[in-house]
Amino acid sequence: MSSMALIGLCSVPALVAPAPAFVDHGVGAPVAESRGVVAATDAAGRGLVVACSLDMGARGWILVTDVARKETRQYWFPEGVRNAAPYVSLLSANGRFYTAAGPILLEFDLDRREWTYQGVPCRAEGTYLGSALVDGPDGLIYAGGYPNCRLVSHNPKTREMVDYGQMDPAEHYFTYLAFDSAGWAYCGIGTARFNLVAFHPKTRERRQLLKEEERKLGTASVYRGVDGNAYGAAGDQWYRLFEGAAAPIAKEDAAPPAPTGTLPWGAARGSFPDGRVLKSYDLPQRRLVIEDPRKKQAEEIRFDYESGGAQITSLVAGPDGKVYGSSAHPMHFFSYDPGRGALEDLGPVRRVSGGNFCAMAVQGRHIAAPSYSGGIFHLFDTTRPFNGGFGDDPNPRELAQWKSDITRPRAALAHPDGRHVLMAGFAGYGMRGGGLGICDLESGQADLIRHTDLIPDQSTVTLKALPNGDLVGGTSVETPGGGHPTEMEGVLYLLDWKTRKVIYRTAPVPGARQVHSVEVGPDSLVYGLASGSRFFIFDPKSREVLHRDDLSQYGDPARPALAFGPDGGLHALFTKAIARIDPGTRRHEKVADAPGPVTAGLAIQGGRIYFAVGAHLWSCALP
């Protein structure tokens, strides 16, 4: 760090003229994601298909299709219940349907076709996930919470809710839950160090079934067997679980799972009394298929719904004058043509599913885009038709995959040599540190630099190239997949392009856990934003931090948050506002308040700044 005095930037009344009014270009991907679908039968014997959903509308909803009538109705969440992603649902043995909107447990009566209950079993939990929402043997509904691994119950008759406490003091993912016939509950927990826990709701006795030295990276799983025992797996070891004890067994000695009404968020299943089954359910395409396996006949039912659209997570200014974007849950690729004013949903991409293109960069006519959660690097040729990556001539095509090293990409870079593209981000679930992937578009070679050879136990979340081709990266110490952080502050590092070695590192903002965004200016200085919207300027030649300032008045930074405009001004996008920084005077000014909470940015195309507010693509003129 430099010993020179650090001069803060100052806010001034007016540097530039106000930008023209914002323009809402519409919803990039006007679809919703299926979050669990089940075939059911009401008390009158009518076959129903019930589907949970996720979109960016103000209120969540489910769809209920009457199969015989081929009629589908949309049931909005009760008033006051915010829209939040359901991660698990349950078609209970009591005939009602349960799901969760964030921390709120919801009950839907299939016979009356109405919501009959809403409540918060535990205010310490954010949601319920995996397969951890089950019928208990005592008629109660039990659930395992995230991120604090608490076991809760709901009594459908008395409406009493009970919080039984944490099942693991350090882990975050309570993903599996099952009961044996003796009334013991078994919890499958992860992701940094898997755990199997037994709990008896009546006596409140809790037993950890694994020794500490047996616990490793991953998530333990449990299910109830048809023989009344529960069964669990932790790593490669299987267990028979009964009366709060675990007996090691071979996998082939485990009994088959008993039927259950639990629905992980991606599941679509169920059957009807006449033997027909739910074959498939496609919420984005608005179609379901019912199959009669005996007659080998299938019937398609089309339906419709109102949707607030899928959340936009990344944008890039394409080489063809268009703006391209990605949504998440579900992932759709879309484009906006400023010349024609046309916003087009191009559709999903093979093997990305509910994930997204987390970042994008332009190399020649191509857009390079890494995706969550498979760590796949995609390359889209803007001169050829988009086909979702399917078929013999896919567009986009896949360059490489680093599933565990870069599970959650955050940065994409087109190297100035014109032939390399790079991706970086967070590692897999339960892990620390993320790698840096490099693809040579001419030779097809793909190389990975692991976090241990970059900044150990940290993840690169922003990446740019200096004029000489060396790289400047910013890191995060966070572990969003449930890992346990060991570092305290993110760093800025320089990587020699020829040797692929880190040659310098510093914490540009002491105490900041993440260097969120960096941009290299025409003056070869590095401009950056760290946690808390703390701005800094770094000189890679002198290796000094020249200035720091607090820009939190504008909100939190978008991703990416910084871009230089044609006039040489540095534009900064925050959740609350757009700001402009003059590199010469190093003064900043608010250009305008954002029309809503900004969720993604920042692309400059044709004299306009493009960004996202939820599912909507917005823009304003450059000041």
Overall average pLDDT of the 281-295 stretch? 95
- Which residue is listed with tokens 């760290």? 530
Q: What's the pLDDT at 477?
A: 98
Backbone angles phi, psi at 214, to 5 degrees: -85, -15
Look at the alpha carbons of 543, 548, 554, 557 in this order and tell me if their dihedral is positive or negative: positive
Q: What's the pLDDT at 379?
A: 98
Which amino acid is present at 65? T
Q: What's the pLDDT at 16?
A: 41
- Give buried/exposed letters for 441-456 (b at 16+ CB in 10 A, else e): beeeeeeebebeebbe
- Which residue is listed with tokens 């099952």? 178
HSE value, Cβ hemisphere, 13 Å, CA-based, for 334:
30
Q: What's the pLDDT at 557?
A: 97
For 370-384, how does the pLDDT look when each residue is reduced to its tens digit (9 = 90+)? 999 999 999 999 999
Overall average pLDDT of the 420-440 stretch? 98
Decide if pLDDT at 550 tops 50.
yes
Q: What's the pLDDT at 15?
A: 35
Decide if pLDDT at 518 tops 70.
yes
Which amino acid is present at 292? D
Overall average pLDDT of the 30-34 stretch? 97
CA–CA separation, 55 and 510 (whole Å): 38
The proportion of the chain whose per-residue pLDDT surpasses 70, expressed as a percent, equals 97
Largest CA distance in the chain: 82
CA–CA separation, 125 and 102 (whole Å): 8
Per domain, the residue ranges of the chain are 33-85+265-307, 121-264
Backbone angles phi, psi at 212, to 5 degrees: -55, -40
Q: What's the pLDDT at 21?
A: 81
Give the pLDDT band (50/70/90) at residue 258.
Answer: very high
Overall average pLDDT of the 438-459 stretch? 98
For 195-245, how does the pLDDT look when each residue is reduced to its tens digit (9 = 90+)? 999 999 999 999 999 999 999 999 999 999 999 999 999 999 999 999 999
For 589-605, how does the pLDDT look when each residue is reduced to its tens digit (9 = 90+)? 999 999 999 999 999 99
The first and second tokens of residue 249, run together, are 């067994």
DSSP 398-457: EEEE-TTTTSEEEEEEE-TTSSEEEEEEE-STT-----EEEEETTT--EEEE-GGGSSTT
Query: What does the CA dihedral 576, 580, 583, 588 come to, rounded to 10 degrees?
Result: -70
Decide if pLDDT at 17 tops 80.
no
Average pLDDT, the chain: 95
What is 121-264's CATH topology? Methylamine Dehydrogenase; Chain H (2.130.10)
Overall average pLDDT of the 464-489 stretch? 98
Write down the pTM of the prediction: 0.93
Overall average pLDDT of the 529-537 stretch? 98
Give the pLDDT band (50/70/90) at residue 20.
Answer: low
